Structure 1
């Protein structure tokens, strides 16, 4: 962001925000004190410092420096709002389970994704929307999607990987997971509509954590325009799907839109979703379903390039599964259950490089934690890296060790320590879908190809999600048979 924009923002918002922030820093009579720390400059606060650290691959250090200076609870200002940073397992548990906190996204994210998404709703509305999404993502439904996912993976590897000397992993993984999720969410086959939607979503992601200034030259404006375009497409798909359901040309299991519409229009249904709610939550599901999974698989490829022992163990696991199947026979739900080591590798990758660096909540009322006041209306921010890289929780935390997860998920760590999928009532509703998508893709990838990293410098940045240097170009070798 250039200096002229910063000065303009400060001049516009200074009088109002200075009043609000100054008033907010005064403890209320008879209550606990505010946490230590500074709110910084109006509007800007510590936002630019955090964003710079994320882009320099120093966000974990940035958070830890605050913890070292102020302790596990401190105040700051992020994205124009007074904020309390909470760290540690007890803080994570408080954030995930406290009824006094509601999920809070940066204003930029709210504007881009809509006001009626699962990310914004609380109470009965949140429960209603989550229940509708969970219906689509329950095991009985997911079993039906394994074949569709595998079909997209096979076609993608045939068209974009096979026969290539080099490929760039991150953009290819993003396109693969986008194709998978757009097929399952909307029933969108390959073609111009899917391509246009993919282009829109590339721009949507650019402004998710941007300063929400709606001016022609800002990234935020470009993201808003892309969001509006994507929403028009999804609204049109919703109306078409509704008509197909009425004509008997689609069923509840056809895709997410059909599932949500079927729930809404079933006789005696208690889950009523408006078109706005279907569009808003489809936007969220599309981002959550393709962006995080693509990051996970990209960083698995990145790690496996330099860890031959882990790669060999994965190849052995998948070869064992394949040898018991006929040539070209599709994967089944039972096959996925045998990929235990691969999923432990995925979980360890998520521990070291969580796609979501952290998340926000909003205090619905004055609330105390660890003897400090969190005033009503303030943001609460937690970061996954604090517990993921705590040597008291994960021994030798910088070491890649899938055996940490040998006993079901994060059972070897205290509750609310491994938080790659969040926790509590808002734990990622698509966690099982992400597992299926990852296992199917890695099954075919490790059996068909060998690879080496092209870049000697093995680094990544966050903007706001992690991206390896240059998108992770690799030298690719096709195995003779698969």
Structure 2
């Protein structure tokens, strides 16, 4: 991908330079945030996508302002709002000043169903209620529903650990994390009790995730081209699931998953397929990435492993033979959750998200015009020594000392009305996996300095090889 982008840039550079020199005018309007829109068309997209996200943000915070700067990424003039004050301002003004915005690549990937006549653009309030209804209507992400699904999470973790780890001394942790995450999604969202059916599509889900934040260049070799093909393959499998669901429901099968509820509500097949694919993708990379780096950080720190195992074995010791995890057990995993929080701070599974300005507004003395995009990112606080002492250190105990508890300094799931609705699902899934893996295994990271590739979806280059010790 990088080679192709470099070739495109090199071939078009003279033209871009001429356009840039001819059209560029100094922006003397002091009301706009400081910063640069970069090159015409490309803007600063290359640095945003292929540089380190933290470096992209920190360099511009230092150069322009620690509160806000302007840039142009993915074809959009964008204001990047930084720090806890910026997070508070954005999260507190959802649907007043901002509405959700998905990058153009994401829009293309998840809009295969298009009516012949485009419907009128809904008003922001309508958008908010439609999105909320899609996710919350069946109640699957509410605590009471997740409590009922906890047994399946526990069972899925045991099954996959048995299939991937049993009898082995060296394995790769990253593929297991992806298999676990997709197996859960198959059971939870689709009602599929065959883990292999969805997990065989792992490479397709990887391609879609990477393509969501890419330039819309639809020819072989580009991230978007691969994502488009992968999305088509996923849709085809989901359509087969829909047909099977229809037959099962006609035979009186119980409605226990989100896909079945969508179909019962009369949602068109293509729309249901697109929305269910969006839900699965939304929870895929975040959970899989966190589990992968959790295995890395814990495998490199024996003392932290021992403390996690002691906590988990105390919970397991109260169980009868064959009894699974329950809601009350998850609330007792306080140290384990601290370790997961520290994992997400050092390796965020989600860097940030975009909004669109609904109206002109002022922040930190600068004006952001209607239609500009607004980007918030955890990069402005997660590794900032103002909010986290010795921020490069992996220290789960910092949360017991109150670090990150100041409002809007630690927001791995966003905040405000658009706080990630899958936050509790992710918490339970990761804790269920951790509980089962430490009960039976100890591990060491074989390549501590293994290169991490991809910034929007960080992944150990070789899949995080670990050496297993059966307990």
Place the TM-score, normalised by the shorter chain, in its bin. 0.7 to 0.9
Report deviation, 1:18: 10
CA 1:11–1:180: 2 relative to 1, 3 Å: farther
Structure 2, unaligned runs of 5 or more: 115-121
Indicate the residue corresponding to 1:180 in structure 2. Answer: 184
Aligned residues between the structures:
456
1:285 aligns with 2:279: yes
1:434 aligns with 2:434: no
Out of 446, 468, 471, the residue aligned to residue 476 of structure 1 is 468
CA 1:23–1:82: 2 relative to 1, 3 Å: farther
1:73 aligns with 2:68: yes
Structure 1, unaligned runs of 5 or more: 266-272
1:6 aligns with 2:3: no
Moved more, 241-250 or 424-433: 241-250
Report deviation, 1:381: 1.7
1:130 aligns with 2:132: yes
Indicate the residue corresponding to 2:366 in structure 1. Answer: 372
Question: After superposition, where does 1:409-448 map in structure 2 within 5 Å?
Answer: 413-448=405-440
Give a deviation string over 1:23-50, Cα, whole Å, max 9, x none. 99685xxxx7111111111122111122
Looking at structure 1, the residues matched to 246 and 13 of structure 2 have their Cα atoms a distance apart, in angstroms, of: 47
Indicate the residue corresponding to 1:385 in structure 2. Answer: 379
Looking at structure 1, the residues matched to 124 and 165 of structure 2 have their Cα atoms a distance apart, in angstroms, of: 43
Indicate the residue corresponding to 2:231 in structure 1. Answer: 227
1:102 aligns with 2:99: yes
- The answer on whether the counterparts of 2:308 and 2:335 sit within 8 Å (CA) in structure 1 is yes
- The answer on whether the counterparts of 1:87 and 1:386 sit within 8 Å (CA) in structure 2 is yes
Indicate the residue corresponding to 2:259 in structure 1. Answer: 257
- The answer on whether the counterparts of 1:42 and 1:80 sit within 8 Å (CA) in structure 2 is no
CA 1:16–1:381: 2 relative to 1, 3 Å: farther
CA 1:467–1:193: 2 relative to 1, 3 Å: closer
Out of 31, 42, 45, the residue aligned to residue 43 of structure 2 is 45
> 3-state SS of the aligned residue for 2:51?
helix
Report deviation, 1:470: 2.1
1:33 aligns with 2:31: yes
Looking at structure 1, the residues matched to 375 and 273 of structure 2 have their Cα atoms a distance apart, in angstroms, of: 27
> 3-state SS of the aligned residue for 1:167?
strand
Question: After superposition, where does 1:352-371 map in structure 2 within 5 Å?
Answer: 352-371=346-365
Report deviation, 1:246: 4.5
Give a deviation string over 1:6-32, Cα, whole Å, max 9, x none. 35677999999999x9699685xxxx7
Report deviation, 1:247: 3.8
Report deviation, 1:276: 4.4
> 3-state SS of the aligned residue for 1:380?
strand
Normalised by the size of structure 1, how large is the TM-score? Answer: 0.86
- The answer on whether the counterparts of 1:450 and 1:478 sit within 8 Å (CA) in structure 2 is yes
Normalised by the size of structure 2, how large is the TM-score? Answer: 0.88
RMSD (CA atoms): 3.0
Indicate the residue corresponding to 2:144 in structure 1. Answer: 140
CA 1:390–1:446: 2 relative to 1, 3 Å: same
Indicate the residue corresponding to 1:241 in structure 2. Answer: 245
- The answer on whether the counterparts of 1:197 and 1:233 sit within 8 Å (CA) in structure 2 is no
